Amino acid sequence: MHRYRSLGMLLTLPALAVLMGGCGGGDNKGGPAPVATSPGTTTPPPSGERTAVEGKGVATLKGKITYDGEAPKPADITAQIQGQDDKAHCLKDDPKNPHPGSGRTWVVKDGNVANVVVWVSAPKGKFFKFSAEEKASWPKEVAVDQPFCHFEPHVSVSFPEFYNAETKKTSPTDQKIAVKNSAPISHNTKWAGSPQKNRGGNQTLQAGGEMALPLKADPTTPINIACDIHKWMTGYIWALDTPYAAVTNEDGTFEIKGIPAGADVQLILWHEQPGFFGEGGALGKKVKLNEGDNEMNFKVKAK
C-alpha cells in the first residue's frame, strides 16, 4: 500500500510529546465541536463522538526528505560484530554499508534521507471514513525480518486500528504485525511502546521463528524493537490510526495515495534521531491537498 511504505511498502511527522489529530475533542476547552442544528443554535455531539473528514476527490502526496547541512557519518559496527560467536553470519551484511535496513540511525545518500516516517492524520475531533473497497485494500500483514543482524525494515508503519463511526469506538483492522527470523541463527525480540498502549514484551526467536505483536494504535509513541543477543540491533514500528502513511526510501522519496482531497488534514514528520520535526511538531501541520498529485519536500537534521 503506498499508505504504509513499501513494507515492503511502506506511512508523516513532528515531536510527539503531544498527540496528533484524530483523537477526540473539539472546542478550546477540550470538548467536542458543536454541530449546527438550525440558524442560531448549536448542539454538541455526544461525548467522544467525532465527525467525518469530508473530501472532494482523492489526493496523492509525494515528496522528498533531504538532510539540512552535512550529514552525520554512519558508525562502523564491525568491532561489535567481531565479538559475537555468530559473527560469520552477521558479517555477510557489510557492516560498513549504511543501507536503509542496516539499522543505522542516519542513512543519507547524496543528501537524501531514508527511514523518515510521513503520515496524514485526521484533525482533532475528526475521523477518516472508509469504503468497503478501501478496507479491502489494507495490507493484511506488516512484517519485520531479521535476515542477518539487523531488523529489516529498520522503520515500519502499521495500521492496527481505526475509528469506527458505527460503534463510535476504535475497531481493529485485523492487520497482522509480525516479527520474523529468516536467519540461520537465533535472535531475541524485545519490544515496547508507551506503557498505556503498548507495554511490550521479550521473546527469543529461533532460526525460522516468527511472532505477532499485539499492537494498539498510538500516534504518540513509536514501538522500539531491539535484540539482546546482538546489542546494536534496533528498529521502530509506528502503530497508527490512519492508513495514509509512508517511510522514505534510500533516495529520500515517499508517496501516499488515497487521501481525501480538499479537506483539512494534519501532516506529520518523524525521524528517530530528532523525533518529530517540521511545523506543528507532534500535532502536525494543517494542510489541504488538491485532487490528484501534490508535492511537498522537507529538510531534517540532527539535534
Domain-embedded: residue 21 = no
Domain that holds residue 131: 48-300
Q: Which position has the higher pLDDT, 257 or 22?
A: 257
Q: In this structure, is residue 43 part of a structural domain?
A: no
In this predicted model, what pLDDT tens digit does every residue of 106-127 receive, in sequence order? 999 999 999 999 999 999 999 9
Three-state DSSP state, 13: coil
Whether 26 maps to a domain, the answer reads no
CA 148 to chain centre: 23
247 is a domain residue: yes
Task: Please report whether residue 29 resides in a domain.
Answer: no
Count Cβ atoms below 10 Å from residue 69 Cβ, excluding itself. Answer: 9
Mean pLDDT, the chain, rounded, equals 86
Using H for helix, E for strand and C for coil, what is the string for 107-170?
A: CEECCEECCCEEEEECCCCEECCCCHHHHHHCCCEEEEECCCCCCECCEEEECCEEEECCCCEE
Comparison of pLDDT for 301 and 25, the residue scoring more:
301
Q: Say how many domains are in the chain.
A: 1
The three cell numbers of residue 93 are 551484511
What is the domain-level CATH number for residue 115? Answer: 2.60.40.420
Q: What is the pLDDT of residues 251-279, one digit of tens each?
A: 999 999 999 999 999 999 999 999 999 99
Distance of CA 276 to the CA centre of its chain: 12
pLDDT at residue 16 is higher than 50: no
Q: What is the pLDDT of residue 142?
A: 97
pLDDT at 47: 53
